[in-house]
Structure 1
Amino acid sequence: MQLYSSRPGRAIWQVVGDLVAIGTIVAAIWISQQVREAIASLGAFGTQIEDAGGGFATTLTDAGDALAQVPFVGEGVAQPFRDGAGSADDLAAAGTALRGAVEAMATTVSTALWLLPVLLLVLIWLIPRLRFATRAGASRRLAETPAGRDLLALRALVGQPTAKVLTAAPDPLAALRTADRAGLDALAALELRAAGVRSQTA
């Protein structure tokens, strides 16, 4: 697989594009982690509520159990404390839910921050780079045989600008009809240059 063009100018831009794309991915991942940590830090408030609710519930439960030991009136006096302990447990559960919601939001936002740039880069950078590498590799393999070079010449005749075709072979149709090796090689070299492959005959 040929990753870079044999033409220096185009190869430089390909290298620059690759470096920018890789830098963008690294930056997106780093920023997403920073944002995740910043959002996740808000979950500390939920942890504080959870701890406070749990501690208050324990205190009220212990107080209710102690008051329940008082003869005759113990159960009646202890019941409000036990009810309060239940409310404190609800508060602790709310703190747990808040912490979970914050963690989920942090994960969602951070994932979006790196995933969206990566998907965009796949569309505007990775796919064209893979297309170039595939075309260059296939063209180089075709150039290794006379029949392959003839096919490259035909591709040039069909796909390359007319001015370039006529510059490479003043009478390209005659070159095809008569199997003029020089003309066909010139057309094949034109197609190879367009694919970013160095022509061995040019």
Structure 2
Amino acid sequence: MKLYADPGPRLATQVAGDLAALASVVVTVRVATRLREQVLGFGVAADRVQSSGERVSSGASAAGTALTDLPLVGGALSAPFEVVADAGRDLAAAGSEAGGSLDGLAALLPALLVAVVVGYLVAHWLPARVAWVREVAEVQRLGHTPDADRLLAHRALARRPLHELRRDGADPVADLAAGHWTSLADLERRALGLTSRPDRRRPIG
């Protein structure tokens, strides 16, 4: 199985594309890891908010309880501390909720980023590479048949731009009609990145 074209512009394009795909995956994983660390850092801050709220609530409740035992004014003096204790409990609850949400985001956002990049590569880069490998394998197989040049010449006439066809022959249609298939077939092979002609003595198999 041939994975790359023969030395030439097509090979350079393939290598550059494969390296770009690999680099994009590596960079994406690194960015996703860094993103996860950043989100978890916010989660640490949320944990601190929760701890602070719990300490405020506990301290204010203890102070309010102590003041309640004072005769006459105990109830009035303890009321503000109960308000502070309630605020501390609300703060602790908010910190706990934020921490849970950030833990989920720390897992979801990096996974989503990697999925988008890998999904793009699977949908665009990979099919093109697989299609080229299969196409070249078929052309190489056809290269061992007597009618290989004729088939590739027809394909070149149908697929190659006009300026490429004119470059290899003054009248490619006339060449095809006259059975002069070699130049057109070689043009199609070069377009695929195959610079060497196949050994026609080998059988199909």
Superposition TM-score, scaled by structure 1 size: 0.69
3-state SS in 2 of match to 1:131 = helix
- Aligned partner of 1:37 in structure 2 is 37
- Aligned partner of 1:95 in structure 2 is 95
- Aligned partner of 1:132 in structure 2 is 132
- Aligned partner of 1:194 in structure 2 is 191
- Aligned partner of 2:13 in structure 1 is 13
Are 1:173 and 2:177 counterparts? yes
Shift, 1:117, TM fit? 3.9
Distance 1:18 1:167, change over 3 A: farther
3-state SS in 2 of match to 1:146 = coil
Say which of 162, 165, 170 aligns to 2:165.
162
143-152 or 92-101, larger mean C-alpha shift: 143-152
Superposition TM-score, scaled by structure 2 size: 0.68
Q: Deviations over 1:80-107 (max 9, x none)?
A: 7889766644432211111122333444
Shift, 1:144, TM fit? 2.5
Q: Which amino acid aligns with 1:195?
A: L
Q: Which amino acid aligns with 2:198?
A: Q
Shift, 1:26, TM fit? 0.5
Q: Deviations over 1:117-149 (max 9, x none)?
A: 444445664343233223212211222222444
Which ranges of structure 2 fall in alignment gaps of 5 or more residues?
70-74, 201-205
Checking the alignment, whether the CA contact within 8 Å between 1:140 and 1:192 is kept in structure 2 is no
2:190 and 2:159 map into 1 onto residues whose CA distance is 13
Q: Which amino acid aligns with 2:139?
A: S
3-state SS in 2 of match to 1:6 = coil
2:170 and 2:36 map into 1 onto residues whose CA distance is 59
Q: CA RMSD in A?
A: 3.9
Which ranges of structure 1 fall in alignment gaps of 5 or more residues?
71-75, 176-182
2:31 and 2:171 map into 1 onto residues whose CA distance is 51
Distance 1:137 1:9, change over 3 A: same
Q: Deviations over 1:11-64 (max 9, x none)?
A: 123212211221122012102211221232011121112223345556677789
3-state SS in 2 of match to 1:199 = coil
Checking the alignment, whether the CA contact within 8 Å between 1:168 and 1:190 is kept in structure 2 is no
